[in-house]
Amino acid sequence: KMAEDNCIFCKIARGVIPSTTVYEDEDFRVILDLGPASKGHSLILPKKHFANVCELDAETAAKVLPLGAKIGAAMKKGLGCAGEAAGQTVMHFHMHVIPRYEGGPANIANWVPGTASAEELTEAAEKIKGCL
């Protein structure tokens, strides 16, 4: 997919709109967020347009995680941040994929872990598996 003219992130990724860029290559531009959650909060912007993670092509997807690790390592070294401070409680790589719902919580950044019965977990798992 090419960049879209009406997408602000496409414009930033192409350099049409100025940004504070911390990294750039032929596929990505990494910028500092203008409304940061914390010092160094960055956005990894593919130069190709994808509406969301579900639309990423395999080539871009294969490159974004190593880039995230590279940026994260630079943040740890340059800014002194750490996984524990971000709420990481199990020191084993993992990625959260958290669905959002209309009428659901407005902000999940300060989420308090909930509970789910074995039946609720099984039902949700089967619904997801049925769509894979």
| Rounded Cα gap, residues 31 and 9, in angstroms | 10
| Rounded Cα gap, residues 109 and 100, in angstroms | 12
Q: Say if residues 47 and 65 touch (Cβ distance below 8 Å).
A: no
Per-residue DSSP letter, 24: E
Whole-number Cα distances in Å, 112 to 21, 38, 105, 117, 120 = 33, 19, 11, 17, 18
Alpha helices in the chain (DSSP H): 8-14, 58-79, 118-129
Query: Which one of 41, 49, 92, 94 is the catalytic residue?
Result: 94
- Reply yes or no on whether 94 is catalytic: yes
Active site positions, annotated: 94
